[in-house]
Structure 1
């Protein structure tokens, strides 16, 4: 399974919604707390780009000791329609400082020096040390995950449904099978029972981790083959 540090790093580097919260910023509209760009530097610092006149930038400019405490909260929502669609959240807390000269005119880059990170997702809840967060790499499939899940759901619904046969005693489940998450280690499917059949997730691990979309195609082909027999 992916480590807590990898899962957190993946969410931070994703396009998931992220809101920057700080006690020094009050009365700002939610949209004004969302960075236009979000990246992670080689030392694990998170770089956030905002309009130069945004409330967050103004607060960082006037902060005492040039540091503004802040928390970046990221919410991960499944790209397919399923019950309980929020897949997880990650929090990165630390101190904000301005980094002039990196952004285009009219923009400002803020650096969030990481103090604490945590994640609560489909794998569970974990805290992550800043050093582990800095060393971790985002999942290589993350940039393509939303498109891949939507494709699986739209074009391979019958094959995904066949995965029910790999569930042993739950093979008689009646309902829908929806691919809800994908990473280099495997596929997670949400089984949605009819009536009072209940809803549950099942993981289908790949024989070995994949590193790119070509490897994923081979792994999915083997998985669907196993389900068909």
Structure 2
């Protein structure tokens, strides 16, 4: 049995959604007029208000729609898919859809202003407003998460097994491999892979990681005998 962590074990939906925005390198943009869809890879950035600034994808149909749009802009929605950086089954961790208006903002530049957001994981969809999304900070581990998860996956299988054995609800019965699938300042998500499926278990840190340099210390803290009561 492990002592309870001192912090809330999971980031809020708004924080997770903002983190997806910060990490994504691609999005699908769909205009509501005619359901025209464009896949944009490495064309966008996110400003402090969670608006998307896009390089014009030079799509003739989109250019025509923008030219005929009212002053408020073209109604559209942007879709993001959050994929685990380690090669596991069912790699999609979450999906984020922003609904809003798309306008031109100078030569070769578009701005998408979200009004609403829908964040989904585990087949559950939660609605967020634009203000909550804009106010939420991205997780401080975002940029280094792929590297850190890859390091745990390939170099510290023994540590992952120890954590899963401590925090998994049923121990490691039938588990063939333990994989790390998500990491944030508040904790780690482990996937317990079995022959006929898998389970994910959340391992919350006792104290938040302030940055990538903190992750090793936070994991060691979880395995410290001082926090484990038999």
TM-score range, shorter chain: 0.7 to 0.9
Give the equivalent residue in structure 2 for 1:97: 103
- Distance in 1, matches of 2:120 and 2:202, equals 18
Match of 2:13 among 4, 22, 25: 4
| Structure 2 residue 114 is matched with structure 1 residue 114 | yes
Question: 1:155: Cα distance to partner?
Answer: 1.2
Q: What do you get for the CA RMSD once the two structures are aligned?
A: 2.4
- Distance in 2, matches of 1:26 and 1:200, equals 37
- Distance in 2, matches of 1:207 and 1:123, equals 28
Give the equivalent residue in structure 1 for 2:90: 84
Match of 1:19 among 28, 32, 51: 28
| Structure 2 residue 81 is matched with structure 1 residue 72 | no
Cα deviation code 1:88-120 (max 9, x no counterpart)? 10000100001105xxxxxx2211111110100
Structure 1 gap ranges (5+)? 102-107
Structure 2 gap ranges (5+)? 1-9
Give the equivalent residue in structure 2 for 1:37: 43
Write the mapping of 1:132-143 to structure 2, written as runs, cut at 5 A.
132-143=132-143
Check the 8 A contact 2:164/2:190 in 1, yes or no: no
Write the mapping of 1:51-70 to structure 2, written as runs, cut at 5 A.
51-52=57-58, 55-65=61-71, 67-70=73-76
- Distance in 1, matches of 2:194 and 2:59, equals 50
Question: 1:35: Cα distance to partner?
Answer: 4.9
- Distance in 1, matches of 2:153 and 2:22, equals 24
Question: 1:56: Cα distance to partner?
Answer: 3.2
Q: How many residues align?
A: 216
Give the equivalent residue in structure 2 for 1:223: 222
The TM-score normalised by the length of structure 2 is: 0.83
